């Protein structure tokens, strides 16, 4: 297991660019909000700790994980100065194949948005077998994947700015 005995919140700050000039959107699923709000807290705190101004963090909510790609696209279309988006969701395995369809649609949709718009969209979607696994990864014993995804988003924004002509 990739997170076995690892804290997802551990990262090297010297590898994260200063976000003072970054504008970052966060789109959050309301489904499983006891989990997604914890992920949001980790992501938002990490952005702030790394220099992103509070007014440059734009948070919007969507009904569920399946709606994250369109929510990210809407943020990018509404705000042309958006440097990156963090898409936060949580899908927990159930008794039907619904889990598979939602996870596949969200994954492909988020990738499509980032490639279409040329803007980093960080995939912060927990796809766990149990609720306890999600709790462990949203502020529990494995840290907070929201932190990890905020770091990844900032690193990709930094790379994009570095490569701009």
6 assigned to some structural domain: no
Is residue 42 situated within a structural domain? yes
What is the average pLDDT score of the chain?
93
Q: What is the pLDDT of residue 94?
A: 82
Report the share of the chain in percent with pLDDT over 90: 81
- CATH code at 114? 3.40.50.960
Burial track 104-123 (b if 16+ CB lie within 10 A, e otherwise) = eebbebbeebbeebebbbbb
pLDDT value for 15? 87
Mean pLDDT of 112-134: 96
| Residue 14: how many other CB atoms lie within 10 Å | 5
Q: Is residue 5 in a domain?
A: no
User: Given this model, what pLDDT does residue 1 score?
Assistant: 43
The single residue listed with the structure tokens 């914890």 is: 38
pLDDT for the residue 40: 98
pLDDT, position 4: 56
The reply to whether 155 falls in a domain is yes
pTM of the model: 0.93
Q: Flag whether 122 is in a domain.
A: yes
> Does the annotation count 142 as an active-site position?
no
Q: Tell me: the pLDDT tens digits for 5-42?
A: 566 577 788 889 999 999 999 999 999 999 999 999 99
Q: Which of 98, 108, 141, 161 is catalytic?
A: 98
Domain that holds residue 148: 22-163
Say if residues 106 and 69 touch (Cβ distance below 8 Å).
Answer: yes
51-90 confidence digits (pLDDT tens)? 999 999 999 999 999 999 999 999 999 999 999 999 999 9
Q: Is the pLDDT of residue 49 over 80?
A: yes
Question: Is residue 4 in a domain?
Answer: no
Quote the number of domains for the chain: 1
């Amino acid at each position: 297991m990739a997170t076995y005995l690892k804290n997802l919140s551990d990262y090297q700050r010297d590898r994260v660019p200063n976000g003072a000039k970054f504008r970052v959107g966060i789109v959050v699923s309301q489904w499983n909000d006891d989990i997604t709000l914890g992920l949001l807290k980790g992501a938002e705190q990490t952005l702030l700790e790394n220099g992103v101004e509070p007014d440059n963090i734009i948070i919007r909510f969507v009904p569920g994980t399946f709606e994250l790609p369109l929510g990210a696209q809407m943020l990018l279309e509404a705000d042309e100065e958006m440097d990156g988006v963090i898409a936060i969701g949580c899908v927990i395995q159930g008794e039907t194949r619904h889990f598979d369809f939602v996870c596949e649609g969200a994954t492909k949709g988020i990738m499509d948005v980032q490639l279409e718009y040329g803007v980093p969209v960080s995939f912060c979607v927990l796809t766990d077998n149990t609720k306890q696994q999600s709790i462990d990864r949203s502020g529990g014993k494995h840290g907070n994947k929201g932190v990890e995804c905020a770091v990844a988003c900032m690193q990709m924004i930094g790379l994009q700015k570095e490569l701009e002509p």
